[in-house]
């Protein structure tokens, strides 16, 4: 990390801290030492990495609260030295569960290539929380290939859907479409497409809705349209349908979306009634 | 005669140095209300412009500006310029506002960290190990 970026981050932290204090003041209930430690850790970002590292290590080794240690992990993620990245991996592997997951996320924030490479093993050996943290780290680092590999090699539906959802968050439409070639459009894939959004996705969701073999798939497509905010598509489906129950569901979806198109439907209904 | 002149010059020089050091050791921002600013060497070797807003004899805000630092929305035109101050002098004044812990503590700590020299890291070290 360059001095320039450290200074910018420090200034940013100063701004955030100032704003935070302006809103919340220093509460009497907070341990003053802890308040100062957190401020010192944030300030440490502007220190030379080789000077900051031993101090951060000391904080992690000492009997500090998890909140303080979590801030220390963030500082560690900004220190682009092998010792810092190795320590993050150590905490991720052996720390208490809360700190372990935070260390994993920090590896994602830091984006260090070697540390990122260590996440694959952590994912394989980790529990559900750690796996979720690894997926988040990949998302933060924008590592679509790693998430796609997890989805491709998933050994359970839950694991597949968690990875697919993350692909949706990452906007990895091509990967989601490719996965559908193998498994067909599952509910998870459809919702992930909705999360990814976009005109192409909206058209796909409309097709899936119209050609759905099951109610579950149709519902998932509608949910995808809801998530992507494609109210014009929902209105189109409403107009196409002759089924009262289905029309009700579609209208309800428009209502949940807070769409102005609801008024068009109401106007049409009133005109029809007249 | 020459020796006398030399002695006078040396004495004047000593007085100037002592006066300068005395002023430096006791650097403080005037108590009158308003913004004050001074320049110090920044951690990256560039010049850092430090600002303090004084109210009723006490600082209530700290800000900074420099080559690598941009404070969005911060614009003080009528700050009283206190000139160039060494980083340690500036730090020594700022660290007086870390305790008791208040809104200003974090601002002081972060501002200190932007200064050049060894002192910022020493202060951060002390704060981080305070209750260990």
CB contact under 8 A, B103 and A39: no
Confidence tier at A273 by pLDDT (50, 70, 90):
low
Residues of A with a Cβ under 8 Å from any B Cβ are: 3-4, 6-8, 10-11, 13-15, 17-18, 21-22, 25-26, 32-33, 35-48, 51-52, 55, 58-59, 62-63
Q: What is the mean pLDDT of residues A135-157?
A: 96
Read off the pLDDT of residues A78-136 as tens digits, 9 standing for 90 and up: 998 999 999 999 999 987 888 999 999 999 999 999 899 999 999 999 899 999 999 99
Q: Spell out the per-residue pLDDT of chain B, length 132, in tens.
A: 555 556 555 555 444 444 444 444 679 999 999 999 999 999 889 999 999 999 999 999 999 988 766 665 677 778 999 999 999 999 999 999 999 999 899 999 999 999 999 999 999 999 998 754
Name which of B35, B24, B27, B33 is nearest B62 in CA terms.
Answer: B35
The complex's ipTM? 0.77
Neighboring chain A residues of B44 at a CB cutoff of 8 Å: 3-4, 7
- Give the separation between CA A3 and CA A181, rounded to whole angstroms: 48
DSSP B71: -
Angstroms from A20 CA to nearest CA on chain B:
9
Q: Given an 8 Å threshold on Cβ–Cβ distance, is A35 in contact with B43?
A: no
CA–CA separation, A112 and A119 (whole Å): 11
Burial code of A148-179, b = ≥16 C-beta within 10 A, e = fewer? Answer: bbbbeebeeeebbbbbbbbbbebbbbebbbeb
Q: Does B28 touch chain A (CB under 8 A)?
A: no
**Whether A60 contacts A87, CB under 8 Å:** yes
């Amino acid at each position: 990390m360059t001095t320039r970026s450290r200074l910018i981050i420090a200034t940013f932290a100063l701004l955030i801290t100032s704003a935070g204090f302006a809103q919340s003041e220093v509460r009497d209930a907070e341990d003053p030492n802890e308040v100062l430690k957190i401020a010192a850790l944030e300030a440490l970002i502007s220190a030379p990495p080789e000077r900051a590292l031993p101090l951060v290590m000391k904080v992690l080794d000492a009997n500090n609260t998890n909140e303080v240690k979590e801030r220390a992990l963030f500082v560690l993620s900004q220190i682009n030295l092998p010792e810092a990245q190795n320590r993050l991996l150590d905490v991720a592997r052996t720390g208490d569960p809360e700190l372990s997951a935070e260390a994993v996320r920090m590896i994602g924030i830091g984006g260090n290539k070697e540390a990122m490479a260590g996440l694959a093993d952590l994912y394989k050996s980790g529990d559900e929380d750690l796996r979720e943290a690894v997926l988040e780290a990949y998302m933060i680092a924008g590592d679509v290939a790693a998430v796609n590999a997890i989805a491709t090699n998933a050994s359970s539906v839950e694991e597949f859907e968690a990875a697919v959802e993350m692909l949706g968050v990452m906007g990895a439409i091509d990967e989601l479409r490719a996965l559908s070639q193998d498994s067909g459009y599952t509910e998870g894939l459809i919702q992930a497409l909705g999360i990814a959004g976009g005109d192409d996705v909206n058209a796909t969701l409309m097709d899936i809705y119209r050609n759905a073999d099951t109610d579950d798939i149709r519902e998932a497509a509608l949910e995808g349209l809801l998530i992507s905010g494609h109210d014009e598509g929902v209105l189109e489906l409403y107009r196409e349908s002759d089924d009262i129950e289905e029309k009700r569901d579609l209208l309800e979806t428009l209502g949940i979306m807070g769409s102005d198109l609801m008024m068009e439907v109401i106007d049409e209904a009133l005109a029809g009634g007249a | 005669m020459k020796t006398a002149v030399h002695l006078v010059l040396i004495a004047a020089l000593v007085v100037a140095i002592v006066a300068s050091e005395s002023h430096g050791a006791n650097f403080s921002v005037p108590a009158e209300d308003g913004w004050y600013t001074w320049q110090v060497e920044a951690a990256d070797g560039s010049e850092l412009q430090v600002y303090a807003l004084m109210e009723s004899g006490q600082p209530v805000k700290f800000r900074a500006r420099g080559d690598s630092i941009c404070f969005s929305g911060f614009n003080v035109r009528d700050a009283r310029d206190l000139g160039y101050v060494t980083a340690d002098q500036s730090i020594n004044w700022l660290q007086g506002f870390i305790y008791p812990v208040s809104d200003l503590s974090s601002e002081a700590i972060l501002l200190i960290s932007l200064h050049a020299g060894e002192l910022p890291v020493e202060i951060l070290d002390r704060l981080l190990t305070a209750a260990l």
